[in-house]
Amino acid sequence: MPLDPRAYRDTIGLYTTGVAVIAAHAGGEVHAMTANAVSSLSLEPLRLLFCPGKQARFAQFLAPGLAFSVNVLRADQQALSTYFAGGWKEAEPPPFRFVPLGAAPCLEGSLAAIGCVAEQLIDGGDHWIVIGAVRDLHAGAGPRRPLLFFGGRYHSIDFKAGAQAPDLASVSDEPEHLHCNADR
């Protein structure tokens, strides 16, 4: 029996992600979209990926060589996420401004920004997988409190709790894997 796309979306939605605005110059304007399908891909060479829907307006501008930025949003920038996702209902947009980050536009005030150049576009079903070569980095001023997406809702981190994570850069072997069996 095929899996239900809604059940998949609900399940994958339990994986907490950050929220970013992807921005690029095209046709003499800055175009931007909200994304949470963003991931580091490689440290050598520096690469990341993001996955815009093929039906997204932003997708029409995608091409190898396109300079773009990944702007990580702060916990207090939920309005910008909603605006760039196309869900803004107010008459006036929330205040924002783009400034240069290398060849890409950077969302001023973001938690962090990564300037990239698109190297590859890979067919990923109803989404594109865009692989970007990292060219510029910017870490915004503190406090560093990211906007998170979990279970279809925005969240933020409780910084009172937490523990130091291990440094996985020096791991030479992996622990035994645990497997789960799904009854179907």
| pTM for this model (two decimals) | 0.86
pLDDT of residue 171: 67
Q: Other C-beta atoms within 10 Å of 73: how many? A: 27
- pLDDT tens for 23-54 read 999 999 999 999 999 999 999 999 999 999 99
Phi-psi region of 86 (alpha: psi -120 to 50; beta: other; left: phi over 0): left
Question: Strands across the sheet with 38-43, in order?
Answer: 29-35, 20-26, 67-72, 112-124, 127-139, 46-50, 38-43
Dihedral sign for Cα atoms in the order 51, 54, 60, 65:
positive
Domain locations in the chain as residue ranges: 20-140
Say if residue 67's pLDDT is above 60: yes
pLDDT band for position 163 (cuts 50, 70, 90):
confident
pLDDT band for position 2 (cuts 50, 70, 90):
confident
Side chain identity at residue 74, one-letter code:
R
173 or 25, higher pLDDT: 25
pLDDT average, residue stretch 127-148: 95
Question: Quick one: 20-140 is in which CATH superfamily?
Answer: Electron Transport, Fmn-binding Protein; Chain A (2.30.110.10)
% of residues, the chain, pLDDT over 90: 75
- pLDDT tens for 83-98 read 999 999 999 999 999 9
